Structure 1
Amino acid sequence: AVRQSLYEQLDKRGLLPSSDKEPFKCSSICLVGQTRPLEPKEFQYPDDDFCTFEGILLDDKPIYIVIFTTAEKTICWMLLEFLNQSTSKTDENFCPSEWGPEAADAMCKEVRDYPAVRGMKMGDLIDATPKEVICKVMLEEKLFETWTYGRTVLLGDACHKMNPSGALGAQTAMGDAVVLANYINTLTTVESEEVEKALRAYKEERYPLGKEGVETSAAMFNIYQQISFLPLAQDKCQIKAMYQPSLENTRPKNMTADALNIE
């Protein structure tokens, strides 16, 4: 809300860079939840103090499912639906009604039959999860150029929204807060000129790290979308490549060995 209000005022004055007017890049839709504490017979995991992390990339759908256990005998789960250019959305046509409880419930119905882990399906996890802790969100990415104006300053997601795949969002936001607090602490006067100078110094120090965080998170997200660590290439050479067990194991079921030009 602070950024939107600030940008609206700057735009009216013709002071907002064109890049800050562009919509967010939206790479995926995320459905998340956490089950209630489960009984040992429901849990299907070893009854110990260790947490287990498992992930599934579906063969026939752009879906990645992450499941991990907690010490409280609950299961945290996340379903990522990767978007392409035709299915992605931006804040230009963002509809708040699409992201309320009804939208989460509708998506839960769509994914109930998707496989989870250990013989479970997503429906089993959804049924064991209180509705109030199920959330559907769109994962947005953007690095803003305008971080300060006058005495107003932005930090965290307000100036660099990162894909959570890199696990850098909270860390970078806390770094922003520490650096900003240090600059504020060194002020010897509250005159506007000195305050604005301190805020500009804060941006100069944190902007490179914010940029790096956005780019690194996007790169980590792209790894999740691949069927294996390296994408399979269509080899059209006259001499077929030697049989490689590791390559064969990662070959999609709908792709023949001939398509890869493998003996």
Structure 2
Amino acid sequence: MAISPQPSTSTSDTTPGRLRVLIVGGGIGGLMLGLMLEQASIDYVILERSPEIRPLGSAISMNGTVLRVFEQLGLLEDLYKISKFSGRVHLVKEDTVTQGHVDLEHYRERYGYYSVVFGRPELLKLLISRIPPGKLILGKRILTTARTEFGVLARCSDNTAYEGDILVGADGAYSSVRQNMYKELKDKRMLPRSDSKPLKFDQNIVVGITDELDPEKYSALRQDFAEIHAIIGNKAPYTMWLIPIPGNRFAWSIGGRILDSEAGKEDVRSFSFAEWFPELATDVCDLVRDYVLPDLTNSYQEDGHYKNRKTDADMHHQYADMASISDSSIHSTLSTEDSSNASSRGTKELKSEPLHSASIHLPDNIPGLLPRRQTPTAKPGTVGELIDATPPDRVSKVMLESKLFKTWYHERTVLIGDACHKVLPFAG
């Protein structure tokens, strides 16, 4: 079901003497900025080009860096209602052989908050519910932007125009605000050469969220602390992430590289591929259906590892009392198992490593897209179970770009989010 905020027929008039911010893009970045401006009593309007906001996506993880902002906005308690606390990340191969674990239990002690995981659709619903009527306007595709004598002007494809004092481009990897700003800079020979180059494009991802599942079959769904699994493909060049979220559901994503021949096609790089497309996801799902599910019935939390953790609502209010932390580096403990002696030695704890040291190397190729087709129901115990438990309109595929732009602002225009630093979403 699409999220449809109250429409507004208001156009561009500004109140004399009052600062007004034009935010282009109604994604997470644009909505969060709007809520910050709302709390600061600064006038704003969010212009979203889509006629409806589709609640697609998979899981999102957040730690103390961002949770502090949610607390300041009065959103933390509501965020906890749609979240699970992060427990451990388990790295396993396609044949279920364990490669290692990343433990996240130290986050609260070090940073004042447990990391949390939740579904992207639920976050969008929460943010939109806090945006006052008339502040989020749908169906506003920006064609051109310009500076005026007193501010900025954004012209839309429906012949409407909006004026403000500051223009914020929160409109994604193919940002129209960035393209207009860069055109002006290029004409003035002020744009760095690297910013004129196209986005790097060699990855794609398929995401989904299952219907409610039986927690007796998947007891990991009952736990307050989410045990996250990354299944690394042996034959197929994909890694699949499984994240328990509230409502007895799994959020999942399948990520990997595309073929060099596909990456070179201009139509693949086109603006339209910045969208979420449910109809393109089936064939990638078919390639991982036979991945063996890890032991999702095993309760890692029954081994005493979590016995001292507080999970009641009172602990949420203790975060503000945490002492300031001087160590700003994030570390995690990576555990590996020697399969030949695992039963006698258990898991060997290794030295503390930066979190990125546990990143997963993805193979360099991916089969091309095949014609859409029907597939047989997967046998029990495979990833296909969870794919089949996900409604088709909740499964979507996106082509992924990556690029860090050097130019993030000029005059009264500024870029945020994917519009200026497009990063891959794998493992956060």
- Which gives a bigger RCO, structure 1 or 2 (Cα 8 Å, sep 6+)? 2
C-alpha offsets along residues 36-89 of structure 1, whole Å, 9 cap, x if unaligned?
111235536464434221111111222111112123210111111234645535
Gaps of 5+ in 1: 168-263
Partner of 1:31 in structure 2?
Answer: 206
Distance in 1 (CA, whole Å) between partners of 2:253 and 2:265 is 22
In the alignment, is residue 10 of structure 1 matched against residue 271 of structure 2? no
Amino acid aligned to 1:145? K
In the alignment, is residue 108 of structure 1 matched against residue 285 of structure 2? yes
In the alignment, is residue 124 of structure 1 matched against residue 385 of structure 2? yes
Distance in 1 (CA, whole Å) between partners of 2:385 and 2:199 is 34
C-alpha offsets along residues 8-59 of structure 1, whole Å, 9 cap, x if unaligned?
3333444332211112123421111111111235536464434221111111
Partner of 1:71 in structure 2?
Answer: 246
Gaps of 5+ in 2: 1-175, 296-379
Greater helix percent: which structure? 1
Amino acid aligned to 1:103? L
Partner of 1:187 in structure 2?
Answer: none
Q: Displacement of 1:117 after TM fit?
A: 3.2
Distance in 2 (CA, whole Å) between partners of 1:81 and 1:152 is 34
Distance in 2 (CA, whole Å) between partners of 1:35 and 1:139 is 23
Distance in 1 (CA, whole Å) between partners of 2:427 and 2:215 is 33
Distance in 2 (CA, whole Å) between partners of 1:153 and 1:50 is 38
In the alignment, is residue 140 of structure 1 matched against residue 401 of structure 2? yes
Contact 2:221 2:244 in 1 (8 A): no
Contact 1:66 1:77 in 2 (8 A): yes
C-alpha offsets along residues 112-151 of structure 1, whole Å, 9 cap, x if unaligned?
3344434632322122112232221223211112112221
Q: Displacement of 1:159 after TM fit?
A: 1.4
In the alignment, is residue 157 of structure 1 matched against residue 418 of structure 2? yes
Secondary structure class of the residue paired with 1:51: strand
Contact 1:28 1:83 in 2 (8 A): yes
* Residue 106 to residue 123, structure 1, CA distance change in 2 (3 Å): same
C-alpha offsets along residues 200-220 of structure 1, whole Å, 9 cap, x if unaligned?
xxxxxxxxxxxxxxxxxxxxx
Amino acid aligned to 2:257? F
Partner of 1:217 in structure 2?
Answer: none
Q: Displacement of 1:102 after TM fit?
A: 1.6
Question: 123-132 or 39-48, which moves further after superposition?
Answer: 39-48
Contact 2:400 2:424 in 1 (8 A): yes
C-alpha offsets along residues 138-168 of structure 1, whole Å, 9 cap, x if unaligned?
232111121122211112222111222463x
Amino acid aligned to 2:277? G
* Residue 156 to residue 41, structure 1, CA distance change in 2 (3 Å): same
Contact 2:204 2:257 in 1 (8 A): yes
Distance in 2 (CA, whole Å) between partners of 1:6 and 1:138 is 24
* Residue 114 to residue 152, structure 1, CA distance change in 2 (3 Å): same
Amino acid aligned to 1:107? V
Q: 1:43 aligns with which of 188, 194, 218?
A: 218
Matches for 1:201-212 after TM superposition, within 5 Å: none
Secondary structure class of the residue paired with 1:126: helix
* Residue 72 to residue 166, structure 1, CA distance change in 2 (3 Å): closer
Distance in 1 (CA, whole Å) between partners of 2:406 and 2:223 is 48
In the alignment, is residue 58 of structure 1 matched against residue 319 of structure 2? no
Distance in 2 (CA, whole Å) between partners of 1:78 and 1:153 is 31
Distance in 1 (CA, whole Å) between partners of 2:199 and 2:292 is 31
Secondary structure class of the residue paired with 1:125: helix
Secondary structure class of the residue paired with 2:418: helix
Contact 2:202 2:260 in 1 (8 A): no
Greater strand percent: which structure? 2
Amino acid aligned to 1:77? W
Let me know the Cα RMSD of the aligned residues: 2.9
Secondary structure class of the residue paired with 1:40: coil
Contact 1:51 1:71 in 2 (8 A): no
Secondary structure class of the residue paired with 1:68: strand
